[in-house]
């Protein structure tokens, strides 16, 4: 006997029509259930990673198994907190450390933000890149820079009892990582003293390389402060990247740059403007410890050309003058010491952006203090991009 469901399609059989209706209802219910599960699991994070479409109505179980809904779990959908380290100086260049939360206003893209977190001393550990120019033109300055850099490393790492870390990079025509991030000042000092001069000069590439290869991988920017300290004369003759590209990478890595000019006394140096711009555009500061007018005082060692019977233009400005050499080292060390104090005495301001979506845009930051006559330095912005 032929079963009703084996009858030809043209057969007018009520049993088959009922069975077909049941199949259609079950398929529809299956599709609705899958849609409900997908809607329940879908989060805003999936907007950047949309789920696989559910199987269409009437699909077989095998087809449904091949098209399960997916859920993204790794993308952040909101900028939860933006941390902004802020340095405040008075007219004499001294750090001001007695301000309160109510003394500050923070703006993101011109829109005032509510400050949620505030500390007079930031608790965020530092990730510092110490970059020394080892090109041919730095040969005479390098020994002084090495000694000053070693003292800076010991100060910032506090004899190994710090959460801070420093990496060492040198550059001439190319850039080299001489020491990876470390909290061991002795190891860092050993690598600093091994540096040798020679080769061309590619400053912009050095900045780009440090930010891309080290700072972007130095932990979450909201959990660390990223800083480059560069000792150079600001000249660049061989970089493959432009200054704008280097600054763009620094902004992407949310890195503040401090520059120390090492041009000799009594000489004009066009590279100083570059060092000033690099620091200003990233929220850091520039120092020119050797920018002092020559004098006639034998006690200071600052001898101008042709003074005291010396016309060679070299001995008076060279390392032969012991007092001059000592003063040069002291001034370099003073600049690094000023940077270490500044980084140790920054305010920490945190806010949750009113515009919280991670849309990949760059957000500029401005910090204002209500007290007059103060100079402020802060992280100038960040990219609201998913990790």
Residue 59 to residue 166: CA distance in whole angstroms = 59
Alpha carbons 156 and 162: distance in angstroms, whole number: 8
Distance, in Å, from the CA atom of 142 to the CA atom of 162, rounded to the nearest integer, reads 27
**Tens-binned pLDDT, residue by residue, of the chain (387 aa):** 444 444 444 444 444 444 444 444 444 444 434 444 343 434 444 444 444 455 555 555 555 555 554 444 444 556 688 999 999 999 998 999 999 999 999 999 999 999 999 998 888 899 999 999 999 988 888 999 999 999 999 999 985 568 999 999 999 999 999 999 999 999 999 999 999 998 899 999 999 999 999 999 998 877 899 999 999 999 999 999 999 999 999 999 999 999 999 887 666 789 999 999 999 999 999 999 887 644 433 333 333 333 333 333 333 334 344 555 667 778 889 999 999 999 989 999 999 999 988 888 999 999 999 999 999 999 999 998 765
Among 109, 165, 34, residue whose Cα is nearest residue 381? 109
Query: In angstroms, rounded to a whole number, what is the distance separating the alpha carbons of residues 102 and 184?
Result: 39
Dihedrals phi, psi of 249, to nearest 5 degrees: -70, -35
pTM: 0.72
Helices (H), the chain: 14-41, 61-66, 142-157, 185-193, 203-213, 243-252, 271-282, 322-344
């Amino acid at each position: 006997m032929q079963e009703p469901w084996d009858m030809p399609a043209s057969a007018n059989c009520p049993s088959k029509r009922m069975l077909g209706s049941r199949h259609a209802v079950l398929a529809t219910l299956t599709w609705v259930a899958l849609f409900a599960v997908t809607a329940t699991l879908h989060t805003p994070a999936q907007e950047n990673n949309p789920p696989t479409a559910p199987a269409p109505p009437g699909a077989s179980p095998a087809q449904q198994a091949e098209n399960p809904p997916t859920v993204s779990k790794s993308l952040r959908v909101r900028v939860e907190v933006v941390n902004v380290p802020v340095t405040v100086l008075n007219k004499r260049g001294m750090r001001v450390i007695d301000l309160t939360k109510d003394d500050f206003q923070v703006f993101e893209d011109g829109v005032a933000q509510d400050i949620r977190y505030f500390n007079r001393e930031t608790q965020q550990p530092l990730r510092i890149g110490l970059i020394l120019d080892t090109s041919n033109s730095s040969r005479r300055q390098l020994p002084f820079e090495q000694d000053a850099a070693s003292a800076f490393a010991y100060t910032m790492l506090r004899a190994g009892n710090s959460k801070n870390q420093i990496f060492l990079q040198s550059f001439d025509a190319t850039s080299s990582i001489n020491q990876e991030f470390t909290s061991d000042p002795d190891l860092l000092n050993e690598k600093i003293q091994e540096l040798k001069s020679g080769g061309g000069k590619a400053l912009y590439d050095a900045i780009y390389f440090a930010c891309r290869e080290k700072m972007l991988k130095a932990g979450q920017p909201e959990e660390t402060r990223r800083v480059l300290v560069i000792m150079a004369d600001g000249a660049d003759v061989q970089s493959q990247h432009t200054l704008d590209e280097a600054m763009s990478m620094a902004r992407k890595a949310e890195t503040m740059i401090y520059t120390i000019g090492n041009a000799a006394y009594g000489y004009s140096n066009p590279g100083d403007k570059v060092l000033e711009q690099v620091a200003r555009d990233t929220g850091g500061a520039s120092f020119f410890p050797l920018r002092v007018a020559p004098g006639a005082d034998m006690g200071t060692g600052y001898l101008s050309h042709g003074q005291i019977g010396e016309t060679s233009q070299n001995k008076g400005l060279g390392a032969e003058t012991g007092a001059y050499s000592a003063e040069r080292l002291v001034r370099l060390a003073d600049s690094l010491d000023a940077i270490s104090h500044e980084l140790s005495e920054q305010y920490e301001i945190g806010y949750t952006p009113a515009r919280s979506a991670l849309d990949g845009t760059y957000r500029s930051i401005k910090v204002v203090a209500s007290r007059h006559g103060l100079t402020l330095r802060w992280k100038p912005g960040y990219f609201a991009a998913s990790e």
